[in-house]
Structure 1
Amino acid sequence: MSGHKWWHNQSLRSTQAVAAGWHLFQEVYDKTPQNSELLFRLRGERLVKSLLRAARTSHFGPFLEKANITQKTAGKILSSLPVLKKEVLRESPDGLLTQLVDAWDELRVHTSGTTGEPVMIRHDDSQLIESTAANLRLLDAYGLEPGLRILRFTADPRHDLIDFSTLPNFGNAVTMRLNVSKIQSADTSYINRVCEEFGPHVLWGQPVEVLLALLRCRDKALRLPQPKAVFTHGDTLDPAARKAIATAFDAPHHDLYGLQEFGRVAWECPSAPESYHIEEERVLITSDDASHLLISSLTNEAMSLLRYQPGDCAELISAPCPCGRNQARLKNLEGRQRGLIIDSEGRLTGVKPIRLLLENEELDRWQVRQATPGHLEVLIAPRAPAPDKRLNARLVEAIGRAVSLTKVTVRPVQLAELATPSGKAPHFRLLATQRALGETASSGDARW
């Protein structure tokens, strides 16, 4: 789009995207919920363009080189493509590049790594523009307005206690990030004063982070002003967590579903809780016989992600929604769930620093287990036939620096030992799961 040296500047690109996104909201996103003909036509046109872009990639090209791609044939052609697995993204991502966007113009993000090693996703500016339009519609649906003040919760020990930023693509919101895992008794007066002066309209975080904030309120370490809404994102909500969050803050609770590969792809309907309207203007979602979601991007010009299987399951609903919107919905979402580590002082803290340490090692797979507060057991399956003998000691030292722990054990194992009875091999098996935190919060207990 631009070869100027300033073009890498995120603020400038976001400014342009906000203007284009506002126009797109007025012309498309604000109309498609009630205009099924417009939605159908837009989705068909974008699917054709997406398939034509995919034909330029080395991964999809062989399947599409002889295809007659039209609006009448596009759906059938898409369904004939092989399922795109995460292994392809991880091992040969360049095969998905369309070559239509210069590296200079790419917007790059990394996946979270909750279900495997993170990979880089390439986007073009449509990601900023489409998300701006979609966010404006979201605010309108939830009875909110641009210019929000958002209090974002984090439990990542790498983050400062308080930080401020802006979200131009989310209605030009101002965000205060609060690290609820770092609140000490000496901080209480200061934190409460800052929160009161900030006056957040929205509280926002992953479910475990919102639950931890709730527990800090219960034990009098945190006092929050009354918000207009509470948002959760990132993980599938356990019923106990949903109940605790919905009743604790005396404000509407809305859950959002998205992935770094696509951005937000669905949002909880305010009239039909626990069902999620799909952003059908920019993603197409189907499912296989086992209810695994297959997600296709309709707008990414840099990287073709078609029939991508993230590992999440859900029921697709095409029947009319009580709210009257046209967009199909997801129900009974089942996906990833994070937990927290209990350190040597009994504090709950995020897992990301430990995950990043282990991802940098030559390991086929690894797993972190906690059965006792303050203790961690790390199981590793080294990739090399003769692993570095110093690896165990190096990991113990590095993990000890990242998180305050009484005991860290590192033990080499065979891959089979990492699997659960159901055959899955999650990276973390912890005490402080979302379900456990939700049950604790629902019971009225102040502390973990």
Structure 2
Amino acid sequence: MPLTPVLSRFWDEPQSWTLETYLRHDGYEGLRKALASTPDQVIQTVKDAGLRGRGGAGFPTGMKWGFIPQGDGKPHYLVVNADESEPGTCKDIPLMMATPHALVEGVIIAAYAIRSSKAFIYVRGEVIPVLRRLQAAVAEAYAAGYLGTNILDSGFDLELVVHAGAGAYICGEETALLDSLEGRRGQPRLRPPFPAVAGLYACPTVVNNVESIASVPPILLNGIDWFRSMGSEKSPGFTLYSLSGHVTKPGQYEAPLGITLRELLEYAGGIRAGHRLKFWTPGGSSTPIFTDEHLDVALDYEGVGAAGSMLGTKALQIFDETTCVVRAVLRWTEFYEHESCGKCTPCREGTYWLTQILQRLEAGKGTEGDVEKLLDISDSILGKSFCALGDGAASPILSSIKYFRDEYLAHFTSGGCPFDPHAATLFSAVTA
């Protein structure tokens, strides 16, 4: 299956981030088409194209826009979730760094469609270069008349604010993001009401991922049939796959939905020389892991789901046979424990105890009962926590034990990590 560079087609040009370069590549032509249509026609176009949210859940974007009640007399808000924090996920930040105007144009079209006059881009605060680049792009768009009042003489007004978050993973959850944007502590809200009814400042709000919004201008420009000519029937279009870890050429590979890891590895030069694939994540560390037997799973929402995982953010973290599964899962679990907001008991307490048990197991001090206890605690978290962070913490543990139980058992039968003979001795020396 060939690669389909759309969003990434001119990332390698000098100064790809400037308005001048963007205009040279049909920039803001999609916006002109949108403004020549009615808002409802724009929503219908995105619905008919079948664009699905690129932030993890894969919810139909046009349907989400259509949920906004019209004629309610309330202001409507568009919020772009640019708080990319999932371990292994690295697609939105390169996109904003290389072509920020793709996001800005998408924001204007989306805001027009949902009849919003104020939009926000909530960016991860640590990525200062991206923040500056976005702010510069927004300033260029204002100066060129693409933002502000009476955009392109259409009578449509839009104010766009770039907001820097403070670096909390929980703020990637859309309702926690809204609380943070309002100046409160970022914690998930109880739903219903959903953001489409009562979101930012208790007004109808659409929250979309960066890649979802940036994919809208090409759809308006090239048409529904063009978009649906890529991908599968239920998961049409192109998307960014992020390959990292033990591959020869890690990076962003823009391809049709439904490509397989085997095909992507051919583009990426394969697993690093002299090694073989052991396990990988199809959608970041919060998705159940896959092994080498899943090389030919179609990487779309249906294919990955049928195989027992989630496509998520398409962050393909590749691990070869030198990697200890228990250690990798421990590192992820420590992250989730640290990032848990503490609002709900299953996640707050569960992630703590998962970390304690995994640390003991990884050091060779565990028992077979500990493996069962991991499964028991994970089951108490999965589907029972306030938001998806708990599910994300449990998924790698449940799936790794499913595929690599023997490796867990080997840690205490051999008195330490079998991949690092020095580890058990070192642990004994430290704790003596």
TM surpasses 0.5: no
More strand by share: 1
More helix by share: 2
Q: TM-score, normalised by structure 2?
A: 0.30
Q: TM-score, normalised by structure 1?
A: 0.29
